[in-house]
Amino acid sequence: MSDSTGALDSATAVLRDAILGGQRRALARAITLVESTRGDHRKRAGALLAALLPATGRAIRIGISGPPGVGKSTFIEAFGGFLTGLGHQLAVLAIDPSSARSGGSILGDKTRMEALARNPRAYIRPSPSGGTLGGVARRTREALLLVEAAGFDVVIIETVGVGQSETAVADMVDLFLLLAQPASGDDLQGIKRGIMELADLVVVTKADGALVPAANRAAADLRLALHLMRPKTPAWRPQVLTASAVAGAGLDQVWGAIQGFRAAMAGAGELDQLRRGQASRALWREVQDGLADALRRHPGVAALAAQLEARVSAGEITPGVAAERLLERFLGPGGA
């Protein structure tokens, strides 16, 4: 948006420079800004993001998901320690659909990632609370750009695997990593097929002590299941690995697979294509969300909507006709 870059006020320019300089407090303030729904904040956030855009895109973006209790927080803590040990700068963002509903946040997770929270090479930002999944996803996408501009070269976006949030996360990252339990057979099928299809890498965690044989069996089952699915891209076949966050085992193999994925995708030109597709889908989702909001706020529409909804429920008119009337009211005559 060249119009918003031109209009960068001096406070925003200061914020931009502080973020480019990697200053944590400026980054935190900027993320708070993109999380705000206030009109003037949205404008300023837009200008800031436009000014930072050339400095974005350099990180490897990893989505991590898995059912409640699978070991996400423990894994990210261990893997994060491993990555920062290699010299990487790691940012962890979270999408928590339950916090979108309850208005709570997963601050609890920050305490379960104690060492990482104190690690100077890591930055953890809990899920923005409140709002729809669409809203939370948009703010997370923008936070991702901000942490990239601040110099973080690995970004993990975590989500609890309970619903549509995985799809949202998979559509903003390069690689989607699914964590699984050391269980096999029917237990394994707690992972929904739709979620398995999103995975570029499956890691059976807790592969330590007495759980090692079960973890290996689970990995074999998962390999079989993945083998029967159509790969997301011709450049990469999803892999299944085992690891233990507690014992710190297998983390190097996980990182090796992530780098292998990245190289295969970049070599085939698929990474650029993936990110371009994600950006254009995000555009149209925002247009849809914006239109739906404007429609709901339109003074003439609300009253009519209530009436039409009642008539649709009563079977007096079809949803199609009712929708046409609403759009006519919203767009004015000739607009629909």
Ligand X SMILES: Nc1nc2c(ncn2[C@@H]2O[C@H](COP(=O)(O)OP(=O)(O)OP(=O)(O)O)[C@@H](O)[C@H]2O)c(=O)[nH]1
Q: Which residues bind Mg ion (CB under 5 A)?
A: 72-73, 109
316-333 per-residue burial string, b: 16 or more CB within 10 A, e: under 16 = eeeeeebeebbeebbeee
Rounded CA separation 75/91 (Å): 14
Q: Per CB under 6 A, does 325 bind ligand X?
A: no
Neighbours of 53 (CB within 10 A): 14
Tell me whether residue 61 or residue 206 sits nearer to ligand X (CB atom): 206
Name beta bridge partners: 179. Answer: 203
Contact criterion met (CB below 8 Å) for 61 and 169? no
Tell me whether residue 66 or residue 80 sits nearer to ligand X (CB atom): 66
222 binds, among ligand X, Mg ion, none (CB under 5 to 8 A by kind): none
Q: How far is the CB of 216 from ligand X (least distance, A)?
A: 14
Q: How far is CA 95 from the centre of its chain?
A: 6
Tell me whether residue 109 or residue 221 sits nearer to Mg ion (CB atom): 109
* CA angle (153, 77, 233) in 5-degree steps: 55
185 binds, among Mg ion, ligand X, none (CB under 5 to 8 A by kind): none
At residue 228, what are phi and psi to the nearest 5 degrees? -85, -5
Tell me whether residue 71 or residue 128 sits nearer to ligand X (CB atom): 71
Tell me whether residue 72 or residue 206 sits nearer to Mg ion (CB atom): 72
**Subset of residues 240 to 269 that bind ligand X, contact rule: CB under 6 A:** 244-246
- Binding map of ligand X across residues 45-74, x = CB under 6 A, - = no contact: ---------------------x-xxxxxxx
Task: Report the first-to-last Cα separation within the chain, whole angstroms.
Answer: 28
Q: How far is the CB of 205 from ligand X (least distance, A)?
A: 5
- Show contacts of 25-34: CB within 8 Å, 24+ apart: 26/150, 27/123, 27/146, 27/147, 27/150, 28/125, 30/146, 31/125, 31/143, 31/146, 34/139, 34/142, 34/143, 34/146
Q: How far is the CB of 219 from Mg ion (least distance, A)?
A: 22
Contact criterion met (CB below 8 Å) for 60 and 153? yes
Q: How far is the CB of 166 from ligand X (least distance, A)?
A: 13
Tell me whether residue 115 or residue 292 sits nearer to ligand X (CB atom): 115
Q: How far is the CB of 95 from ligand X (least distance, A)?
A: 12
Name the residue with tokens 């549509």. 164
Q: Per CB under 6 A, does 119 bind ligand X?
A: no
| One of 61, 125, 206, 325 touching ligand X (CB under 6 A) | 206
Chain positions contacting ligand X, by CB under 6 A: 66, 68-74, 109, 112, 160, 205-206, 208, 244-246
